[in-house]
Structure 1
Amino acid sequence: MDAHQYCQERAAASGSSFYYSFVFLPADTRRAITAFYALCRELDDVVDECHERAIAETKLNWWREEIGRFAAGVPEHPATHALFDTPQGRTIPAALLLEIVDGMAMDLDGQRYPDFKSLNLYCYRVAGVVGEVAASLFDGERSADDRAIRRYAHELGLAFQLTNIIRDVGEDARRGRIYLPQDELVRFGVAEADLLNGRDTPEFQTLMQFQYARAIACYDRALAVLPAGARRAQRPGLAMAAIYRTLLEEIRRDHFPVLRARVSLTPLRKLWLASKTWLLT
């Protein structure tokens, strides 16, 4: 199978909001971001699908070596091969890709975060860096060191990851993972056992309202720092923001049913939100 076809099928099969946000891109940019997304999916699956720590560590170490091969121009995996095959993709600094691998490795270390500062490091690696790379792919003419774009990308990546954490509280707890900061559980009177056993208490609702407000603030900060002249190039990220923020609002409207169900938007609605954002930006 052709490397780009592999990445296209990998992205389409995920049904992710990211896939719907870049279907309107020019062909060359779409190939680059699709390859990058496929690479991120490969890394994410290492942690989600490997139940033995030693195997997961071995696979992540292989990916570190593969990123070295990518930087040297001799990648082996279809995702890195497709990424290197695009002009935008081959300029991605290996150090940023290694940060993403390090973020995935954090999921092997207990999945508990004492406070938001420690959670923020995880979010930076698995989402903020992803946002920075994606933003550079969307606008190859803009310097990757542009501070406003980087801050926008990091804030938006954090907003996406916080939305994921809220959406997946119950699912993650059933896997033994709790991403909500431990000190905030104590502050709002929510025990780990409440999450692990799916107990939707008034205290849990207050805690989730607090998490919602933090995520919304990240969306607002991201949009506030994005330069007006960059909005058109960053339409894919803005489309993702429209989809994810709508999802977050739906979760809140339904009173955070996340301990017992996974709230999602239909593919048609995602496509409508993406196309609406694309046309109006």
Structure 2
Amino acid sequence: MDVHQYCQERAAASGSSFYYSFVFLPQDTRRAITAFYALCRELDDVVDECHESQLALAKLDWWREEIMRFAAGAPEHPATRALLDTAQGRNAPAALLLEIVDGMAMDLEHLRYPDFKSLNLYCYRVAGVVGEVAAAIFGGARNADDRAVRRYAHELGLAFQLTNIIRDVGEDARRGRIYLPQDELARFGAREADILHGVVTPAFQALMQFQFERAAACYERAFAALPASARHAQRPGLVMAAIYRTLLNEIRRAEFPVLRARVSLTPMRKLWLASKTWLFP
């Protein structure tokens, strides 16, 4: 099996906006980030496709062992083998990869989050850490800028995850999950039962406007943190930011129809945004 072809097919089949941020990269970097993305998809699918929690936890334990095999230079899965086969990917810290697995495990343990502090830990693990590993693969920072690039990556990862949460409120509710913090539902008077049954209320609209403003602020903090010296190398993340931020604005412009519909951008619009951002980051 060609492990890089496996990862390429995995990324292309996902239909994710992330795929559009890879297409302009040099081959070596593209292979590294595609392998990392394929690994994240494998972990995500454990939670999404395995309906027995004990079996899912057992699979995540296997992945913890696989990450340690990756760190030792002897992985078994095509995604981790492909990551090891790239100069930018083989140095991905095992500790960060294990944080991502722990984030996936939180999806099996929590259907609700009492406040933003607890939700933020989940977002850090499944998105902030992903952003940090991806930013390291893209490179381009001087030593003095490393901390700023990591801050940028964490803020951007958080922004992406909050955008996903807003977009997927209805879909998650149909699975019995509500990622919106429980104390914020109470603050705005939004009823959990209404969300679970797809009932749009003024209280829900106000709650979603609050979520929009938080996500928008994360994008702004991310852009402000990115050093000018790293901007060129970090273009893939900026491409993703252009796509996701446009999606977030579209959801708001449509007045948050997320309980009953999934708002998305067309492939042509994503490609246009990707091309424009790549040429003029």
Tell me the residue number matched to 1:71. Answer: 71
Q: Secondary structure of 2:90's partner?
A: helix
Question: Contact 1:99/1:125 (CA < 8 Å) preserved in 2?
Answer: yes
Please report how far the alpha carbon of residue 15 of structure 1 lies from its aligned counterpart in structure 2 after TM superposition: 1.1
List alignment gaps of at least 5 residues for structure 1: none
Tell me the residue number matched to 1:52. Answer: 52
| 1:265–1:88 CA distance, 2 compared to 1 (3 A) | same
Distance, in Å, in 1 between the alignment partners of 2:127 and 2:143 is 20
Tell me the residue number matched to 2:98. Answer: 98
Counterpart code for 1:72: A
Please report how far the alpha carbon of residue 46 of structure 1 lies from its aligned counterpart in structure 2 after TM superposition: 0.3
Distance, in Å, in 2 between the alignment partners of 1:279 and 1:75 is 37
Tell me the residue number matched to 1:137. Answer: 137
Distance, in Å, in 2 between the alignment partners of 1:197 and 1:245 is 28
Please report how far the alpha carbon of residue 186 of structure 1 lies from its aligned counterpart in structure 2 after TM superposition: 0.3
Q: Secondary structure of 1:146's partner?
A: helix
Question: Contact 1:15/1:267 (CA < 8 Å) preserved in 2?
Answer: no
Percent identity over the alignment is 83
Distance, in Å, in 2 between the alignment partners of 1:160 and 1:128 is 9
| 1:72–1:141 CA distance, 2 compared to 1 (3 A) | farther
Counterpart code for 2:92: I
Distance, in Å, in 1 between the alignment partners of 2:259 and 2:74 is 45
Let me know the Cα RMSD of the aligned residues.
Answer: 1.1
Question: Deviations 1:12-61 (Å, cap 9, x if unpaired)?
Answer: 01111111011100100000000000000000000000100111001000
Tell me the residue number matched to 1:88. Answer: 88
Question: Contact 2:17/2:270 (CA < 8 Å) preserved in 1?
Answer: yes
Question: Deviations 1:61-97 (Å, cap 9, x if unpaired)?
Answer: 0000000100000000000000000011110110000
Tell me the residue number matched to 1:277. Answer: 277
Tell me the residue number matched to 2:243. Answer: 243
Counterpart code for 2:209: Q
Distance, in Å, in 2 between the alignment partners of 1:145 and 1:71 is 26
Question: Contact 1:88/1:140 (CA < 8 Å) preserved in 2?
Answer: no
Question: Deviations 1:185-229 (Å, cap 9, x if unpaired)?
Answer: 000001110110000001100000000000000000000010111
Give the 5 Å matches for 1:65-214: 65-139=65-139, 142-143=142-143, 146-214=146-214
- More deviation, 135-144/208-217: 135-144
TM-score by length of 1: 0.98
Distance, in Å, in 2 between the alignment partners of 1:52 and 1:143 is 45
Question: Contact 1:136/1:144 (CA < 8 Å) preserved in 2?
Answer: no
Distance, in Å, in 1 between the alignment partners of 2:74 and 2:151 is 32
Question: Contact 1:188/1:203 (CA < 8 Å) preserved in 2?
Answer: yes
Distance, in Å, in 2 between the alignment partners of 1:41 and 1:272 is 25
Counterpart code for 2:131: G
| 1:49–1:143 CA distance, 2 compared to 1 (3 A) | farther
Poorly superposed stretches of 4+, deviation over 2 Å: 140-145
| 1:251–1:37 CA distance, 2 compared to 1 (3 A) | same
Question: Deviations 1:121-141 (Å, cap 9, x if unpaired)?
Answer: 000000000000000000166
| 1:143–1:95 CA distance, 2 compared to 1 (3 A) | farther
Tell me the residue number matched to 1:259. Answer: 259
Counterpart code for 2:93: P
Question: Deviations 1:218-253 (Å, cap 9, x if unpaired)?
Answer: 000000010111110000000000000000000000
Q: Secondary structure of 1:89's partner?
A: coil
